[in-house]
Amino acid sequence: MSPISETAPGGQARRRMRIDGWRWGGRIFLVFMLLYTALPMIWMLITSIKSGFAAMQFPPQWWPDQPTLASYRKLLDPQNSVGRDFLRFFWNSLFVSTATTILSVIVAVPAAYAFSRFTFPGRNFLFFAVLLRNMFPAVIFLVPLFILMRAIGLVNTHGSLILTYLTFGLPLAIWLLKGFYDNIPVQLEQAARIDGATRFQAFILIVMPLSAPGIIATAIYSFIGAWNEYIYAYTFLSKNDQLTLPVGIQRFFSENTTDFPGLMAASFMMSVPVVVLFLVLQRYFVRALTEGAVKH
Amino acid sequence: MTILTGKAEARPRLQPNGAGVLRKIWEHRVDYAYVLPAIAVMLIVIAYPIYYTIELSFFNTPPGLQLRDKIFIGLDNYTAILSSPVFWKVTSNTLIWTLGSTFIAFVLGFASALALHRDFVGRGLLRAVLIIPWVISAVAASYIWKWIYHSDFGIIGAVLVGLGLADRPPNFIDSVSTVLPSLIVVNIWREFPFAMIMMMAGLQTVPDQLLRAAKVDGANAWQRFWHVTFPHLRNVSTVTILLLAVANFNSFIIPWIMTGGGPSNASHIWITHIYELAFGRQRWGVASAYSVLLFLILMSLGYFYVRALSGNERKDGSA
C-alpha cells in the first residue's frame, strides 16, 4: 500500500486533548500489562539466585543479601544426582522436540500445499477434519492411545511421544502453511511448468523457497508444543532416564518440596530454549499468523 | 481466509453422473498423495482412539486395563456420572473457568493489541515481552505462580501484609473460596498473549484509507474504532474466542500441577477429573463415558467454529 500524504486534520485543541487521552490510557494499560507479565518472571529469577534459607523468610528479601548461583551449579553439574537427572531430562526434551519438528514439517508441507492448490473430492471435509483436531483434549485420546502404544510396544519410549506430538502440531501447521501457499502466485509455478519442470520440481524449486518463513513458523510452533507438552509424557513414560523436562521437574519438586530456589532455577532453564527460539524468530511467527490465519 | 482454486493444469469438466465421482477421485489420485501422510497419521492417532473411547464407555473394564475381562454394561457408566454430585461441582467449575478465562483473556489481549497498534519507541520489545508467558511451559508457569501464592512465603501475601491490607498472608490456592479465581489469574497470564497476537494480526487487515476517511469526516477515536475497526475484526474475534474457549475447556496442567483439583474438588475441571478417574482410580468405563460427553460438547463448539470460518470465506466471495 502506498502511503497517502496525511491531510492535516482541523487542529482544534479539544480534539487533540481527547486523542491524547486515548493515547495515555493505552500507555497506562500497557504498563499494567507489562507488570502483570514480567513481575512473576522477575520473581522467578530473583528467587533462583537465593539460598534455600533466604527464600524461606517472611517478609521476603526483595533482593537476596547474598546472591548465589548455587542452584544453577547444582542443576548443571553432571557429578551429582540432581544435575545428572536434569541434564538427561534436558537432552530427552531436546531429542523429542527436534524429531517432532522435523517430522511435522515433512508431513505438513505437502498436505498444506495440496489444500492450497488442488481441488479434489472431499478436500473441504478433510481440511475441517484437520482443523477440528485442535478441538479435542489430550485426555480423550489418552486411554486408547495408551492401549495402542502398549500394543505396538512403544510405552516407555520416546517414539510414543513423537508420534502423538506430531498430531498436535499438524492442524495449525497445515493451516499456517496453507495461508502462505495461497499467497504465492500460481503463475510462478505455471511459468516453471512451461519451462519444462514437472509439478513436483516446481513445488520443490519455486514454492518451497518462497514459503520458508511459513515453514520456520511451523517448525517453531511444533518445537515449542513438543518441548512444553506434559500429559502424554507424564502418562506414557515411567522410567526415570526417559522423562522429559516438564515431568522431570515435577519429580524434582515432589522430592525437594522446599527447594524453591532450585525449582525456580529449573523452571528458568526450561524456559530459556523456547523463549530464545521464539524471540529470535518471532517476526516470522507473527507474520505467519497474520498471513495465514487472518486474511483480507 | 481465501482459498485459491488455481490449478496447476486445466482439466476437462466432468459430466455430473454416478461414475463421475469415482472417476474424479481416480483422476485426482496424485493430489491425494500429498495429503495422505497427514491423513494416515490423523487416522491412527485420532479416529481410532475416538472409536475406542466410545466402545469402552459401554463396558466395565477392571483396574490394570485388562481388556479381555471387560464386561458390557450398557449405559450404566453414563447414569453413574449424571447421578454423582461431583459431576455437577466439576461442571460448574468448568463453566466458571472457561467463561472467566476466555472473556478476560480476550479483552486484555484485544486491548493490548490496540495499544500496541500505534508506533512508539520500544514497541517491538514490549510486544515480545508480553508474548513470553504464552511461550514458556505451563508446568514452569504453574510452579512460578505456586511460589507467588505460597501461603507462608508468597510475595503477594507479603505485599498485602506490608500494605496493611491483611493481617497474615491469605491462602490463595489452599482455600475453597479463592482457589478457582487464583488459578484463573494464572491461566489468563498464560493466554492473553494468544488473543493479542490474533487481534494484532486482525488489526493489520483494517484498511488505512477507511480510517483516514473516517478521520477526515470528523469521527473521533471511539467512533473510528466502533464503526470502522471493530466490524472488520468480527470474524477474527469469533475465531479467537472459540479457540480460547476450547483451549480453556481442555486445560489440564495448571489445575493439575498447582492444586491437583483440590481442596475438596474446588478446582477440579472436567479434564483433570477425567484424568483422575482414569489413571488415578482406574475407572476406565466412567472416564471414557465422560470423554464421550466431552466429545459431544466439543463437537457442537466445533460446529460453530467451522461456521465462523466458513463465514470468513463467504465474505471473501470464494468457496
Of the partner residues B4, B221, B239, the one whose CB lies closest to the CB of residue A22: B221
Q: How confident is the model at residue A16 (pLDDT cuts 50, 70, 90)?
A: low
pLDDT tens digits for B54-100?
898 999 888 777 777 788 888 889 999 999 999 999 999 999 999 99
CB-nearest to A41 from B132, B243, B250 is B132
B72 pairs with which residues across the strands? B59
Each residue's pLDDT tens digit, A254-295: 777 778 999 999 999 999 999 998 888 877 776 666 665 554
The answer to whether B103 contacts chain A (CB < 8 Å) is no
Q: Do B45 and A145 touch (CB under 8 A)?
A: yes
pLDDT score at B22: 77
**Given a cut of 90, is residue B140 above it in pLDDT?**
yes
State the average pLDDT over residues A192-214: 85
Please give the torsion angle defined by the CA atoms of residues A144, A149, A151 and A153, in that order, rounded to the nearest 10 degrees: -170
**How large a percentage of chain A has pLDDT more than 90?**
27
C-alpha cell read off for B173: 490456592
Nearest-angstrom CA–CA distance, B295 and B81: 15
Q: Do A228 and B284 touch (CB under 8 A)?
A: no
Whole-number pLDDT of residue A2: 40
Q: What average pLDDT does this structure show over A38-58?
A: 90
pLDDT, position B139:
94
How crowded is residue B110: how many other Cβ atoms within 10 Å of its Cβ? 24
B173 backbone dihedrals φ, ψ, rounded to 5°? -105, 10
Question: Quick one: closest CA in A to B105, which residue?
Answer: A33
A29, B130 contact by CB (below 8 A): no
**CA B209 and chain centroid, separation:** 34
* A143 has a pLDDT exceeding 70: yes
Residue A63: half-sphere exposure toward Cβ, Cα within 13 Å: 0
Nearest to B205 among A142, A270, A296 (CB): A296
Q: Model confidence over A78-109: pLDDT tens digits?
A: 888 888 999 999 999 999 999 999 999 998 88
Q: What per-residue confidence (pLDDT) applies to A227? A: 94
Task: Tell me how far apart the terminal alpha carbons of chain A are, to the nearest angstrom.
Answer: 13
> Would you tell me which residues 15-34 of chain A have a C-beta closer than 8 angstroms to some C-beta of chain B?
15, 18-19, 22-23, 26-27, 29-30, 33-34
B47 part of contact set with chain A, CB < 8 Å: no
Chain A, nearest residue to B283 by Cα: A143
Dihedral-angle region of residue A203 (phi above 0 means left; psi in -120 to 50 means alpha; beta otherwise): alpha
Q: Which residues of A touch B271 (CB under 8 A)?
A: 137, 139
Residue in A with minimal Cα distance to B294:
A140
**Burial bucket for residue B165 (CB in 10 Å: 0-12, 13-18, 19+):** exposed
pLDDT category, A147, cuts 50, 70, 90? Answer: confident
pTM score of the predicted model: 0.83
pLDDT digits (tens, 9 = 90+) for A157-166: 898 899 888 8
Band the pLDDT of A120: cuts 50, 70, 90: low
Out of B137, B209, B295, closest to residue A271 by CB:
B137
Q: What are phi and psi of A269, to 5 degrees?
A: -60, -35
A134 chain-B contacts, CB cut-off 8 A = 243, 246
CB neighbour burial string for A49-86, b if at least 16 within 10 angstroms, e if fewer: bbeeebbeeeebeeebeeeeebbbebbeeeeeebbebb
The answer, yes or no, to whether the previous bond of B207 is cis (omega within 30 of 0) is no
DSSP labels for B278-296?
IIIT--HHHHHHHHHHHHH
SS3 content of chain A, % helix, strand, coil (to 5): 75, 0, 25
Q: Check CB contact under 8 Å for B52 and A27.
A: no
Whether residues A193 and B130 touch (CB distance < 8 A) is answered with no
A80 vs A263: CA distance, rounded Å: 16
Q: Report which DSSP code applies to B72.
A: E
Return the residue in A63, A105, A136 with the most chain B beta carbons within 10 A, the one to mutate for interface testing: A136
**Yes or no, beta carbons of A29 and B198 under 8 Å apart:** no
Q: Give start and end residues of each alpha helix (H) in A158-294.
A: 158-183, 186-194, 199-202, 208-210, 212-228, 231-236, 245-255, 260-292
pLDDT for B186 beyond 90: yes
Residue in chain B nearest A268 by alpha carbon:
B140
In terms of phi and psi (left: phi > 0; alpha: psi -120 to 50; beta: otherwise), the region of B64 is: left
Number of A–B residue contacts, CB under 8 Å: 314
pLDDT value, residue A118: 77
Query: Which residue from A100, A232, A121 is spatially nearest to A170, judged by alpha carbons?
Result: A100
A209-213, B104-108, B232-236: range with highest mean pLDDT: B104-108
User: What is the model's pLDDT at position B12?
Assistant: 46
B254 part of contact set with chain A, CB < 8 Å: no
How close is the nearest chain A Cα to the Cα of B240, in Å? 10
Residue B165 φ then ψ, to 5°: -90, -15
* Residue A39 CB contacts under 8 Å (≥ 6 apart), including other chains: none
Cα distance between residue B304 and residue B289, in whole Å: 24
pLDDT in tens, B162-177: 898 888 888 899 899 9
Residues 6+ apart with CB under 8 A from A72: A48, A265, A269
Three-state DSSP state, B59: strand
| Alpha helix (H) residue ranges in chain B | 18-27, 29-42, 48-56, 76-82, 85-116, 123-135, 138-149, 155-162, 179-203, 208-216, 221-224, 230-232, 234-249, 253-258, 270-275, 284-315
**Residue B11: helix, strand or coil by DSSP?**
coil
Q: How far apart are CA B209 and CA A230, in angstroms?
A: 47
Cβ within 8 Å of B, A 30-59: 30, 33-34, 36-38, 40-41, 43-44, 47, 55-59
pLDDT of residue A184: 82
| Beta strands at B71-72 and B59-60: parallel, antiparallel or unpaired | antiparallel
Q: Do residues B211 and B193 lie in contact, with contact meaning Cβ atoms separated by under 8 Å?
A: no
- Asked if pLDDT for residue B106 goes beyond 90, the answer is yes
Q: Which of B2, B131, B140 sits opposite A182 (nearest CB)?
A: B2
Buried b (16+ CB within 10 A) or exposed e, A143-161: bbbbbbbeeeebbebbbbb
Average pLDDT, chain B: 84
d(CA B72, CA A138): 26
Q: Please, are residues A150 and A238 in contact by the beta-carbon 8 Å criterion?
A: no
Please tell me the predicted confidence (pLDDT) of residue A289: 63
Q: Chain A partners of B49 at a C-beta cutoff of 8 Å?
A: 140-141, 143-145, 148
pLDDT at B31: 75
- The answer to whether the beta carbons of residues B151 and B174 sit under 8 Å apart is yes
Cβ of A164 and B133 within 8 Å? Answer: no
Nearest to A29 among B111, B222, B305 (CB): B111
Q: Count how many residues are written for chain A.
A: 296
Cβ neighbours around A238 below 10 Å, total: 11
Beta pairing partners, B60: B71
Query: What integer best gives the mean pLDDT of chain A?
Result: 82
Beta bridge partners of B59: B72
pLDDT above 90 (res B27): no
**Which of B53, B140, B150 is opposite residue A271, by nearest beta carbon?**
B140
Put simply, the answer to whether B2 touches A295 (Cβ < 8 Å) is: yes
Average pLDDT of the segment spanning B11-22: 56
Inter-chain CB proximity A29 and B112 less than 8 Å: yes
